[in-house]
Amino acid sequence: MIRTRVNLRKYGNLTLTIRRHTVYYWCMVHVSYLKLQELALRVANNLPRPLFYLEHVSFTARAEEMLKSHELIRKCHARLNMSRLECAHGICHCEAVARDAGAILLAEGRLRGMSDSTLAPLFLSAIVAGLLHDIKRAEQDHAVRGSIEAALILKELSMDERSRSYVAYAIRNHEAFKTTCDLDDKEGCMVSDALYDADKFRWGPDNFTTTLWLMVEAHNTPPEALHRTFKEKMRGIEKIKETFRTDTGKRYGPEFIDQGITIGNAIYEEMSELLANRD
Ligand SMILES: [Fe+2]
Ligand SMILES: [Fe+2]
Q: How far is the CA of 178 from the centre of ligand 2 (A)?
A: 15
Given a cut of 80, is residue 27 above it in pLDDT? no
Q: How far is the CA of 199 from the centre of ligand 1 (A)?
A: 8
Q: How far is the CA of 105 from the centre of ligand 2 (A)?
A: 17
Write down the mean pLDDT value for the chain. 90
Q: Give a yes or no: residue 22 inside a domain.
A: no
Q: How far is the CA of 132 from the centre of ligand 1 (A)?
A: 10
Q: Give a yes or no: residue 12 inside a domain.
A: no
Helix, strand, or coil (residue 177):
coil
Q: Give a yes or no: residue 137 inside a domain.
A: yes
Given a cut of 90, is residue 181 above it in pLDDT? no
Given a cut of 50, is residue 2 above it in pLDDT? no
What's the confidence (pLDDT) of residue 279? 63
Sign of the dihedral defined by the CA atoms of residues 86, 89, 94, 95, in that order: positive
**Integer Cα distance of 239 and 222 in angstroms:** 26
Judged by average pLDDT, the poorest of 9-18, 108-117, 172-181 is 9-18
Instruction: Please report, for the domain that includes residue 74, its CATH number.
Output: 1.10.3210.10
Beta strands in 93-192 (DSSP E): none
Give the tens place of pLDDT for each residue, 236-265.
999 999 999 999 999 999 999 999 999 999
| The one-letter amino acid at 179 | T
Ligand nearest 197 Cα, by number? 2
Quick one: which of 159, 108, 111 has its CA closest to 132? Answer: 159
Phi, psi of 18 (to 5 degrees): -60, -40
What's the confidence (pLDDT) of residue 278? 74
Q: Give the distance, in angstroms, between the CA of residue 13 and the centroid of all CA atoms in the same chain.
A: 45
Q: Determine the structural domain holding residue 202 and report its residue range.
A: 50-278
Q: Give a yes or no: residue 146 inside a domain.
A: yes
Ligand nearest 200 Cα, by number? 2
Q: How far is the CA of 177 from the centre of ligand 2 (A)?
A: 14
Residue 218 confidence class, pLDDT cut points 50, 70, 90: confident
Q: Give a yes or no: residue 192 inside a domain.
A: yes
Q: Give a yes or no: residue 21 inside a domain.
A: no
Helix (H), strand (E) counts: the chain: 13, 0
**Highest mean pLDDT: which of 75-79, 159-163, 217-221, 223-227?**
159-163
Q: How far is the CA of 185 from the centre of ligand 1 (A)?
A: 23
**Integer Cα distance of 73 and 128 in angstroms:** 6
Quick one: which of 239, 237, 204 has its CA closest to 47? Answer: 204
Q: How far is the CA of 133 from the centre of ligand 1 (A)?
A: 6
pTM for this structure? Answer: 0.88
Number of domains in the chain: 1
Give the tens place of pLDDT for each residue, 182-209.
788 999 999 999 999 999 999 999 999 9
Q: Give a yes or no: residue 75 inside a domain.
A: yes
Q: Give a yes or no: residue 14 inside a domain.
A: no
Q: How far is the CA of 57 from the centre of ligand 2 (A)?
A: 22
**Integer Cα distance of 261 and 267 in angstroms:** 10
Q: How far is the CA of 136 from the centre of ligand 1 (A)?
A: 8
Is there a contact between 174 and 243 (Cβ–Cβ < 8 Å)?
A: no
